[in-house]
Structure 1
Amino acid sequence: MQQLGSLKVLITFFLFFLSTVIFADDKNYSVLSSDGVKIAIQEKGNPQGQPLIFIHGLLGSHLNWEKQMNDHMLKKYRLITFDLRGHGVSDKPDNEKSYLDGQLWADDLNAVIQKSRAERPILVGWSLGGAVITNYLAKYSDRDIRGAVYVGGVVELTAEQIPAHPNVYHDMTAEDLKTHLDGENAFLRLCFYTQPDIATFERLISAAALANFTMQKAVPNMSIQLEQGLKNTRVPILFINGQYDALVNHETSVKRAFSINPKIKFEIFKNSGHAPFYEESDLFNQTLDRFVKKS
């Protein structure tokens, strides 16, 4: 019995030591994209694990993914986030040409993959992040990735796929500051079927206030090379959408994507709006974990 007790102590110490080695401190670094824009990158989790690269949406930041970064089950993976151009702590060029060409956003993602040396990562893109994935696939193909997950992903910026909220989108690009900020507030509210707690929403508002104004005006006209991106993609692709998404018409969007690549898989989260990774984070993390294991 004494030997068994000693063995348990030794195993406990070994597991503790192993965890301190495997799960390194958080990392923050940056990379220059093709046009010189600095992209801020962050890492958590297991440096030796399968890389997952998370791409946030319009007005967001890498902080959108906190429920994934802090999930015990996902910490076995190498968790990489970054701030899109015009957002967070990445550079915010103040000219429309830096945002209209979707290939520049694709270059940002490629720069993150190359700088991080992420070997065949799985891409996870929320909302606008889905369009970034599509443009990446169009320019760089799927040769360097293992799979992709679109979360409330923007497929195309068309009236059929993006529900009309004329007052909200008009106010978001208004020159009057109060109107502009109120528009951003309304837009963020539309992201959720179940509204986040006050502290989280205040953080979302703060991140939105950091987003470049010129970028917000340009993004609705950003190019998305849908057919080039999806037609020849052979890695697994999963679309996850919330039943009550107010910002993306998931039925029309997924149908359009499926018409180009019929191998796409689709899951609907019945208690979510536009942000199922937040609103049903446990289910989302489990679904992502299964996708990684099957890819």
Structure 2
Amino acid sequence: MSRNILRHWFSVLVATLAALAISSNAFANTKNYTVTAPDGVALSVQESGNPLGQPVVLIHGLLGSRLNWDAQVGSAELQRYRIITYDLRGHGLSGKPTEAEAYRDGRRWADDLAAVIEASHASRPVLVGWSLGGAVISNYLAAYGDSQIAAAVYVDGVIELKGDQIVAHSEVYRDMISSDLKTHLDGERTFLSLCFHTQPDRPTIERLLANAAMASWDMQSAVQSMTVAASEGLSKIRVPVLLLYGEHDALVNTSGAIARAKQLDPQIQIKLYANSGHAPFMEESERFNRDLAAFIETAVIH
């Protein structure tokens, strides 16, 4: 074997070990704490990455938790940033109130995000919301404006809960709130399968199902009529906004959602992922991480 070939493979090995070390350190240095929302709900918050870097708040979707963002938290590409994740109310390790208004009122979700930003002392964070997390961002913008953030990213985000923007799966959503345990769990399994154009590996699917099983039944019923103040939020936003959607999204009507978002803010940037469904940050994670990093760098300069 020639010296040049040996040198090449040695370089590859060093780069691989460095990436693994960064990924391992990201999980090893994770900081966990609890933030209390204005209505008393306890929110489980986590931080990783560079504590002095640009703050990035990752907001998961329905039936998820912070674990949805493992491919971002463990990414060498994103370790330069201060990555903040939290479990939404009714999800994961966060509090699960039983009253419906705790979930129907979109302002509650906005207040949660504001409480996380304040408690973490995140200076002008970039907000990244997947699916339901997009609705959380819209409600935050309507309630608090954009003066405290640097940019926003909607990842297959819910712009509004309207028929021209959401794909109808009435039987699935009905089964998800069934009082019959088997029907309920089968509904959640079907919902999760609809999130992907390319299904994840078995350990990931099992983790997603466990996430779903931890989600509040009260939340799943009430959130279907959650108020989303997109017109009050996106129409007034001045910071950069990126909409990133999978072309095979089976839950959000991509064309309808994008059209409505651009109607509210004609300056919105759009990226479409040809090989993804509802979860491009998992299905095409390497590309997503590169695109997110590039957008953050441009947005922070802005």
Please give the TM-score of this superposition, normalised by the length of structure 1: 0.92
Of the three residues 220, 223, 229, the one matched with 1:225 is 229
Of the three residues 176, 196, 201, the one matched with 2:180 is 176
Give the AA of the match of 2:87.
D
CA distance in 2, matches of 1:25, 1:275: 26
- 2:194 is the alignment partner of 1:196: no
Helix, strand or coil: the match of 1:125? strand
- 2:103 is the alignment partner of 1:126: no
Quote the residue 2:268 is aligned against: 264
CA distance in 1, matches of 2:289, 2:197: 18
Helix, strand or coil: the match of 1:251? helix
Structure 2 regions of 5+ residues with no counterpart?
1-17
Of the three residues 145, 149, 156, the one matched with 2:149 is 145
Of the three residues 110, 113, 122, the one matched with 1:109 is 113
| TM-aligned CA deviation for residue 28 of structure 1 | 0.1
Please give the TM-score of this superposition, normalised by the length of structure 2: 0.90
CA distance in 2, matches of 1:73, 1:230: 29
CA distance in 1, matches of 2:157, 2:171: 22
Quote the residue 2:245 is aligned against: 241
In the TM superposition, what whole-angstrom CA distance separates every residue of 1:190-223 from its partner, at most 9, and x where no partner exists?
0000000000000000010000001000111000
The alignment-based identity, stated in percent, is: 54
Quote the residue 2:85 is aligned against: 81
Helix, strand or coil: the match of 1:178? helix
Aligned residues: 276
| TM-aligned CA deviation for residue 231 of structure 1 | 1.1
In the TM superposition, what whole-angstrom CA distance separates every residue of 1:73-102 from its partner, at most 9, and x where no partner exists?
100100110000000000000110100100
Quote the residue 1:286 is aligned against: 290
| TM-aligned CA deviation for residue 173 of structure 1 | 1.0
Quote the residue 1:100 is aligned against: 104
| TM-aligned CA deviation for residue 276 of structure 1 | 0.3
Kindly report structure 1 stretches of 4+ aligned residues shifted beyond 3 Å. Answer: none
Quote the residue 1:274 is aligned against: 278
| TM-aligned CA deviation for residue 257 of structure 1 | 1.0
CA distance in 2, matches of 1:235, 1:270: 27
In the TM superposition, what whole-angstrom CA distance separates every residue of 1:215-270 from its partner, at most 9, and x where no partner exists?
00011100011111111100000000001000000100110111111011111000
CA distance in 2, matches of 1:233, 1:62: 26
Give the AA of the match of 1:36.
G
Of the three residues 55, 61, 66, the one matched with 2:65 is 61
| TM-aligned CA deviation for residue 166 of structure 1 | 2.1
Quote the residue 1:186 is aligned against: 190
Helix, strand or coil: the match of 1:231? helix
Structure 1 regions of 5+ residues with no counterpart?
1-14
Of the three residues 39, 62, 76, the one matched with 1:35 is 39
- 2:161 is the alignment partner of 1:157: yes
Give the AA of the match of 1:221.
S
CA distance in 1, matches of 2:29, 2:164: 45
Helix, strand or coil: the match of 2:76? coil
Give the AA of the match of 1:253.
A
Q: How much is the aligned-residue C-alpha RMSD, in angstroms?
A: 1.3
CA distance in 2, matches of 1:136, 1:157: 16
In the TM superposition, what whole-angstrom CA distance separates every residue of 1:154-193 from its partner, at most 9, and x where no partner exists?
0111111111112211111111110000000000000000
CA distance in 2, matches of 1:166, 1:225: 23
Correspondence list, 1:4-23, <5 A: none
CA distance in 1, matches of 2:241, 2:99: 33
In the TM superposition, what whole-angstrom CA distance separates every residue of 1:45-68 from its partner, at most 9, and x where no partner exists?
000000000000000000000000
Helix, strand or coil: the match of 1:79? strand
Helix, strand or coil: the match of 1:76? coil
